[in-house]
Structure 1
Amino acid sequence: MSKNLLVRRAAVLGAGVMGAQIAAHLTNAGVDTVLFDLPAKEGDPNGIAAKAIANLAKLSPAPLATASLAERIVPANYDTGLELLRGCDLVIEAIAERMDWKQDLYKRIAPFVPDHAVLASNTSGLGIDALAGVLPEALRHRFCGVHFFNPPRYMHLAELIPAKTTEPAILAALESFLVTTLGKGVVIAKDTPNFIGNRIGVFSMLAAMHHTEQGKLGFDTVDALTGPAIGRPKSATYRTADVVGLDTMAHVIKTMADTLPDDPWHAYFQAPAWLQALVSKGALGQKAGAGFYTKRGKDILVLDLAAQDYRASNSDIDPDVAALLKERDPAKKFAALRASTHPQAQFLWNCFRDTFHYSAYHLADIADTARDVDLALRWGYGWSLGPFETWQAAGWKQVADWIAEDIVGGKAMSTAPLPDWVFDGRDGVHAPTGSFSPARNAMVPRSDNPVYARQRFPDPLLGEKASQGRTVFENDGVRMWVDEGDDIAVVGFKTKLHTVNDQVLSGLQEAVAIAERDFRGLVIWQPKEPFSAGADLAGALGLLQAGDVKGFEAMVAQFQATSQRIKYALVPVVAAVRGLALGGGCEFQMHAARTVFGLESYVGLVEAGVGLLPAGGGLKELAVRASDAAGPGGDVFAQLKTAFESVAMGKVSTSAFEAKALKLARDGDPVVFNAYELLHVARAHARALAEGGYRPPLPARRVQVAGDVGIATFKMMLVNMLEGRFISPHDYEIATRIATVLCGGEIDRGSLVDEDWLLRLEREHFVALAQMPKTQERIAHMLKTGKPLRN
């Protein structure tokens, strides 16, 4: 067995919502993928799988990084297509959650699965050992469970569940593939029903449902309490249930009741009467148009149990409880919640207490360490802190005593005692040395699988802190640092949302100068998303309103100088982009020697939305690239069309691949699937460029432009849009100026200009737009509301 899992081709069995999306994400990652389902009763025998592939384009959020990838997925069926399995290195089964169906399928495919291939079941809770039981001996050591969370492209968590017969080397190789190729956060779970994420996550929802009834609270009030107010996603409890589907929710609860008869909380593993009533009425949540919530016109209504009808949703938290939740010290916050007599505060304490109790009681059965539980809830359910981290932050010993007191007082959902290790004098389960494992009765460090050496800053747990490196240079805008013994330095922005202000501009120029002097390369990377939300609009508006046009012009010139400094640095400057890279942030990466993108990179030159045009060298760079692509005497206009539409319409890519289609990224820029590996890959590219004897590009002195003919052609398109009222007169003004800069100004088509000519055009048109009242209204509106104004 190779140490690496070499996956040239993969198969996904089952073209339901989950199977089709797993196939989509494998294809995103460049894996040649076959999607199987039953043969269609009439027409093309691969029709069921083909229809599922076609449907991928309609799903939101999009499972495919770019719609054209759908045609790369091969549809197949179990009657005529099984021979295709012989060429597969990885087979993922994702059919319905029925043990008998899965086992029957395994018997059918076993003769076709090659001797080296790994077979995995994407089950959300069925027994992996039981599934392995029907496999031939030769396949058992290459079989395990892999549970992707929905939607698989976006949810970071993948649970890996070994069977007793799974070979450790195969599990480790599959883990590496999931982490690097598919970008997942992998947690190894024990073979128990619902594994880790859903076992604790669904229990926490059941606890919330139980305490909703006890506290007689509205569903909307509970969602207000269990969302961002406590570091959970906006969909909170009941909106999540609506999105998942109330029938699915009821099925999961029933599965818990059937498979966990000895669980001390078993009495609560039943759907409340009101949930059963909704399911029987067909009010299954979002897919049925009604569940706990429904939409009437533009209004969101919530189910009122007392009135047996929907009413206007009111998601207000009581002001006193809201004030408690704003307390920054978790110990004080939990003490206040427990002491308060307000039903909302009592509800929250009860939910936390019962989830802590359940997690501690079951830790030894479901996971090796507390780390696995906390990461599963963060990555699979979007919690900002896992249950053990929350408990530890609030004061381990005090909270443990309170839980014990509530158990004895009959207030907890179960009388099961907390395990002895909770009271062994510890202050928590996470420490710099590792996380607690009940089975080993020790603190266990993170996995030594070599794949994790690629994560310089893994997602930290409470109490963990990676070394931040040695500071080389710092001002109010940026910090430049390096790891001891490394020759590639890293610079990141310190501003809110990593916006670009004077300090960032001067800091970046200084960082490039230091890198040229003392290092072999420089990476622009932010420890947290976004890469950069663009220029500091508030500062710009201040200069304009004060009538300081000269100061404003100087700021623009400084912006352009910084971009040029990045482009012409004597050492490679590599941008490592994930999340938003808007406006100036996008322009910086366009000037880097190379950009390494995280898959989830949302890139755009969006200045038109605030009445401006890109003036940090972005339009200049698009004009230079169009000239290069057209070649001497070629059709520059044809190369500019996509770029013009991207900028004039302020388009933002929905993935790194789409950024390439919008001409905001270069075709050769690499895309990394795991955000925690981005820095590693960017440093490797900077080093490789340096090793290759890097020289910056020669100055672009002969840029062929589309000139007056190009401007006139773009204007014709714009006039039609203006007359059809698709754009406002001010939109027309902005877009015309964008076209003018991209085409090199009112000069003859095919004229040759240099970069300075294009940069001057950018500055002139930017400053002219900035002085217009409508533009200043747009900037002020964006600063106030965060939304663009169409005036």
Structure 2
Amino acid sequence: MNKQGAAVYKEHEQAGGGGTAASGEGRGRTANRFTVKKVAVLGAGVMGAQIAAHLVNVKVPVVLFDLPAKEGPKNGVVTKAVEGLKKLKPSPLGVPEDAALIQPANYEEHLALLGECDLVIEAIAERMDWKLDLYRKIAPHVAPHAIVASNTSGLSITKMAEALPEALKPRFCGIHFFNPPRYMYLVELIATPTTKPQILDDLETFVTSGLGKGVVRAKDTPNFIANRVGIAGMLGTMREVEKFGLSFDVVDDLTGKKLGRASSGTFRTADVVGLDTMAHVIKTLQDTLSAETDPFYGSFATPEVLKVLLEQGNLGQKTKAGFYRKVGRDILRFDPARKDYVPGGEKADEVYGRMLRKPAAERLKLLRNASGAQGQFLWSILRNGFHYAAVHLATIAETARDVDQAMRWGFGMKQGPFELWQEAGWLQVVQWIQEDIDAGKALSKAPLPEWVFKGPVAEAGGVHTAEGSFNPTSGRFEPRRVLPVYQRQVFPELLRGEAGARFETAGTTVHEDRNVRLWTLDHEVLIVSLKTKMHTISPEVCEGLQQAIETAEKDYQGLVIWSGDEPFSAGADLESTLPAFVAVGVAAIEDAEGFMQQTMLRLRYASVPVVSAIRGLALGGGCELGLYSAKRVAAMESYIGLVEVGVGLVPGAGGLTYIARRAAENAATSTDKDLLKFLTEGFTAAAMAKVGTSAIESRKIGYLLDSDVIVPNKDELLYVALQQAKALYDAGYRPPHRRMFPVAGRSAKATIQGQLVNLRDGGFASAHDFHIASLIANVVTGGDVDANTLVTEEYLMALERQAFCELVQHPKTQERILGMLSTGKPVRN
């Protein structure tokens, strides 16, 4: 470093640079950003270990603490918990081997490690005395800038804070992850009277962008927002189930997707959460509330059926028995009268399914006036939900937005209670609820609060408006919090009635038809959005993509493929090509495949960077769309794969060509030039229709590269993709050269073929699967050529088309295609 450089560096340090804030708050906090370099998680139980796993998923180094083991190595409790992560389903880890990245520690030997951590998340058992003892133990070792947060589902954060040293109180708050932490979007943050506001802003920023979560700030009341409203709703539902005499499977059929809620319904959800966990949350309500503090307290008794199941040790999914039990392929349901399991699978009356598809106002009116038990039950649980949320809004949340977001993100509801109420006609629903309260039909005699009937809400027709969402304490509609992190969410998830841009109509439209929309937000990068069902790729979509490339090359810095919602693309539109196949024959299929392949090559060799913004499914042609882009930006929960084998086909739009080319490129950087070794994983993935169960696993398979970007928060995907396109352009992007590359040849094909024969003869693959895999092997090895023969992409794509067209005419493949189109499930033949 020269003298001038040293002087500048010294001045930077004195001004608070080098990772130290100008305000002097210590390492990890800069003037503009709280940087989380390492996290400590205290407690290696179910939640603590899974929180640690998700931190690893998003590349945050983590130390996982627990008590020293009584026997064997002192880190034994933690190492056992970490090993257990590999066995859990759904997996808390993006790839199982990343469990090794969790650093084990114990409170006896490693408390000094806390000084290296910017965030400490306590996640031990829900015992106030245990938590306070632990805080006293760790307090001297926590870094002076670090945030300390308790992951609790309902204990008082304020009471915990009272036992903390004064220096720690401003940096302490509650953080409530929902189980399982990797998959559940909701995180509740809870401040105490002594929590410094900036601390909560910093933590919300990290949780939102770093962990990919949706943050709701809750008041420090029992069970906070989501569990308070959600568990009260489940208890109310169970009471109504007893009243109307409905079976659990009928109730789940009624209260799942048909009602706009999680597909698991009520009782399957309870099994997944764990009946012991549910009982604990119920007990928290019972212990911390009373008839004086909650007028619904009378409905908080532990249901008898839950008591029986707990006594039997049937805790739900974790014990393979709860409200349901799986025996072989059969699903049994618990019968409270018999106290045993009986055959399940009963469905609700379809008349109520039709009612639930009606517009909200008509739907609620029909349910309220229904004469059947199932309709009366549905109206009762909806009314109870509206009633409870309205009575408690002022005490549990700042605004109605917090309640609706919490129920969307924590309980899988398509709409929160206030949204549905507002959509159905606010004052009409008010009248119905009050009439039921007066008639003694409601769970509580508590009247609806005055703000429901008159004032701003009544005048606006609901709690969500263009000005914001209603705060019953201030009596005003309040906008969302303005934090810099939310500028990264171009199209945040909006509630009904809220103002905000919708991606379908935002920006400037350059071209639009029924298949694609070409548009821009900034006149610098062009965006192409697919409009087809499941964003499938048809010849018309390919025309739109080629038009997008031409337009981008002429007038823009880059092109981003982003369609606003999931999935990215479910693949080629087989259904639309079948009529052409029937009318014209296989030539129509060959033309369509050739056009898709041309489109993929056009993407790859475009003179401007093409960035695929992937979220959800990217299967078959959708995967190939990503593979032929200059770069991929993928949400963490993206599921990418070449799955054509499932319908008896081979990848036909360049997927197999990509596998061969990548093998050659990888071999070129290695001293080992045996191409077969570099082909194996790609061939296996295509032949077995393997799908990456996370963006991390898709990177391991090879569908994403190390240079691609994985985005934790789905709502930041478009922002990051646009920035990546601009960065590539600013760096002087040039497309890759069209060059020939070596293939493994007939000898490698013979080796693969021998392994396939063993699988077929051993009964591990059907004759048709063997045939398909053989065709895949032929393409990825380059066909009947010598090893290391140089070929072009077009040559391999011709082999792809040949294999694809051969299979389309095969009766077994036709059975698979028709089966998938009619049932949505793969046919095994």
Give the TM-score taking structure 2 as reference length: 0.93
The code of the aligned residue for 1:350 comes to S
Q: Which residue of 2 aligns with 1:135?
A: 164
**Pairing partner for 1:53 from 79, 82, 89:** 82
Shift of residue 735, structure 1, vs aligned partner: 1.1
- Alpha-carbon deviation of 1:45? 0.2
State yes or no: 1:98 paired with 2:127.
yes
Q: Over aligned residues, Cα RMSD in angstroms?
A: 1.4
Deviation, 1:502, is: 1.4
In structure 1, what is the equivalent of residue 48 of structure 2?
A: 19
Shift of the 143–643 alpha-carbon distance from structure 1 to 2, 3 Å rule, reads same
Aligned to 2:761: 723
1:314 is displaced (CA, Å) by: 4.1
2:517 maps to what in 1? 479
Partner SS, residue 36 of structure 1: strand
Q: Where does 1:28-43 land on structure 2 (aligned, <5 Å)? A: 28-43=57-72
Contact kept, 8 Å, 1:331 with 1:393, in 2: the verdict is: yes
Within the candidate set 437, 441, 444, 2:478 is matched to 444
Cα distance between partner residues in 2 of 1:70 and 1:563: 37
Q: How does 1:450-489 map to 2 (within 5 A)?
A: 450-464=484-498, 465-467=500-502, 468-483=506-521, 485-489=522-526
Once the two structures are superposed, what CA deviation does each residue of 1:712-743 show, in whole Å capped at 9, x if it has no partner? Answer: 11111111111111111221211111111111
In structure 1, what residue type is equivalent to 2:294?
A: D
Query: 2:308·2:339 contact (CA, 8 Å) conserved in 1?
Result: no
* 2:704 aligned residue (631, 652, 665): 665
Pairing 1:335–2:348 present? no
Instruction: Give the stretch that moved more between structures: 239-248 or 227-236.
Output: 239-248
Q: Distance in 2 between matches of 1:750 and 1:245?
A: 56
2:72 & 2:334 partners in 1: Cα distance? Answer: 44
Determine if contact 1:196/1:367 at 8 Å carries over to the other structure.
yes
Match of 1:72 among 69, 83, 101: 101
Output the amino acid matched with 2:625: F
Matched, 1:586 2:616: no
Question: Given that residues 157 and 191 in structure 2 are in contact (C-alpha distance below 8 angstroms), is that contact kept between their aligned partners in structure 1?
Answer: yes
Judge conservation of contact 1:475–1:503 (CA < 8 Å) in 2. no
CA positional deviation for 1:554 = 0.8
* Distance across 1 between alignment mates of 2:276 and 2:789: 66
The answer (yes or no) to whether the contact 1:476–1:503 under 8 Å persists in 2 is: no
Query: Aligned partners of 2:535 and 2:748: how far apart in 1?
Result: 36
The correspondence for 1:636, drawn from 659, 669, 675, is: 675
1:743-766 Cα offsets, whole Å, 9 max, x none, are 112111111112221222222222
> Is 1:238 the counterpart of 2:267 in the alignment?
yes
Question: Match of 1:549?
Answer: 586
Shift, 1:547, TM fit: 4.7
More off after superposition, 288-297 vs 246-255: 288-297
Which of 330, 338, 342 is the aligned partner of 1:299? 330
Taking the TM superposition and a 5 Å limit, the aligned residue runs for 1:227-626 are: 227-261=256-290, 262-327=293-358, 329-424=359-454, 425-426=458-459, 427-464=461-498, 465-467=500-502, 468-483=506-521, 485-626=522-663
Q: How does 1:168-187 map to 2 (within 5 A)?
A: 168-187=197-216
Would you say the 8 A contact 1:544–1:771 is kept in 2?
no
Aligned: 1:648 with 2:651? no
Return the alpha-carbon distance in structure 1 between the equivalents of residues 492 and 817 of structure 2: 37
Letter in 1 for 2:73: D
Distance in 2 (alpha carbons) for counterparts of 1:224 and 1:777 = 31
Structure 2 counterpart of 1:194: 223
Counterpart of 1:710 in 2: which secondary structure? helix
Alignment check: 8 A CA contact 2:361 2:423 kept: yes
1:522 is paired with a residue of what secondary structure? strand
Assess if the C-alpha contact under 8 Å between 2:252 and 2:267 holds in 1.
Answer: yes
Matched residue SS, 1:320? helix
Give the distance between the partners of 2:402 and 2:603, measured in 1 at CA.
Answer: 41
Question: Which of 707, 714, 718 is residue 745 of structure 2 equivalent to?
Answer: 707
Mapped to 2, the partners of 1:598 and 1:423 lie a distance apart of 43
In the alignment, residue 51 of structure 1 is paired with which amino acid?
A: K
Candidates 36, 45, 63, aligned match of 2:92: 63
Determine the C-alpha separation between the residues in 1 that align with 2:493 and 2:519: 20
Aligned to 1:772: 810
Q: Distance in 2 between matches of 1:172 and 1:15?
A: 27
Distance 1:290 1:673 in 2: 34
Mapped partners of 2:349, 2:791: distance in 1: 64
Cα distance in 1 for partners of 2:319, 2:676 equals: 48
In the alignment, which residue of structure 1 is the partner of 2:10? none
Q: Are the equivalent residues in 2 in contact too, given 1:541–1:776 (CA < 8 A)?
A: no
Contact 2:42 2:121 survives alignment (8 Å): yes
Q: 1:7 aligns with which of 26, 30, 36?
A: 36
For residues 273 and 586 of structure 1, the distance between their equivalents in structure 2, rounded to whole angstroms, comes to 50
Deviation of 1:471 (Å): 1.1
Q: Distance in 2 between matches of 1:604 and 1:726?
A: 21
Offset of 1:420 from its aligned partner?
A: 1.0
Could you list the per-position Cα deviations for residues 669-717 of structure 1 after superposition, in whole angstroms to 9, with x for gaps in the alignment?
11000000000000000000011111111112x2111111111111111
The alignment status of 1:745 with 2:783, answered yes or no, reads: yes
Does 2:119 correspond to 1:85?
no
SS at match of 1:138: coil
Corresponding residue SS for 2:337: coil
Q: Is 1:698 aligned with 2:775?
A: no
Decide whether the 8 Å contact of 1:223 with 1:315 is kept in 2: no
Hey, what does 2:6 align to over in structure 1?
none
Q: Residue 542 of structure 2 aligns to which amino acid in structure 1?
A: L
Q: Distance in 2 between matches of 1:457 and 1:345?
A: 36
Alignment match of 1:685 (pick from 709, 724, 742): 724
Q: Displacement, 1:112?
A: 0.5
Alignment partners' CA distance in 2, 1:772 and 1:289: 42
Check the 8 A contact 2:50/2:85 in 1, yes or no. Answer: yes
1: distance between equivalents of 2:816 and 2:354?
Answer: 34
Instruction: Give the letter aligned to residue 438 of structure 1.
Output: P
CA apart distance, 1:218: 1.9
Percent of aligned pairs sharing the same letter? 53
Consecutive unaligned residues of structure 2, counting only runs of 5 or more, are 1-24
Q: Deviations over 1:230-275 (max 9, x none)?
A: 0111221112222222232222212101101221111111112232
**Superposition deviation, residue 320 in structure 1:** 3.0
Report the alpha carbon displacement of residue 223 of structure 1 after superposing the two structures with TM.
1.6
Are the counterparts in 2 of residues 544 and 770 from structure 1 also a CA contact under 8 Å? no
Structure 1 residue 478: Cα displacement: 0.8
- Is 1:116 the counterpart of 2:145? The answer is yes
- TM normalised by structure 1 equals 0.98
Q: What secondary structure sits across from 2:86 in the alignment?
A: helix
Whether the aligned pair in 1 keeps the contact of 2:153 and 2:281 (CA below 8 Å) is no
What is the SS of the residue equivalent to 1:137?
A: coil
Q: Who is 2:12 aligned against?
A: none
Q: Is the 8 A contact 1:477 1:494 kept in 2?
A: yes
SS at match of 1:395: helix
Inter-partner Cα distance in structure 2 for 1:240 and 1:639: 43
Mean Cα deviation higher: 416-425 or 520-529: 416-425
Shift of 1:769: 2.0
Partner of 1:759: 797
Cα distance in 2 for residues equivalent to 1:423 and 1:435? 16
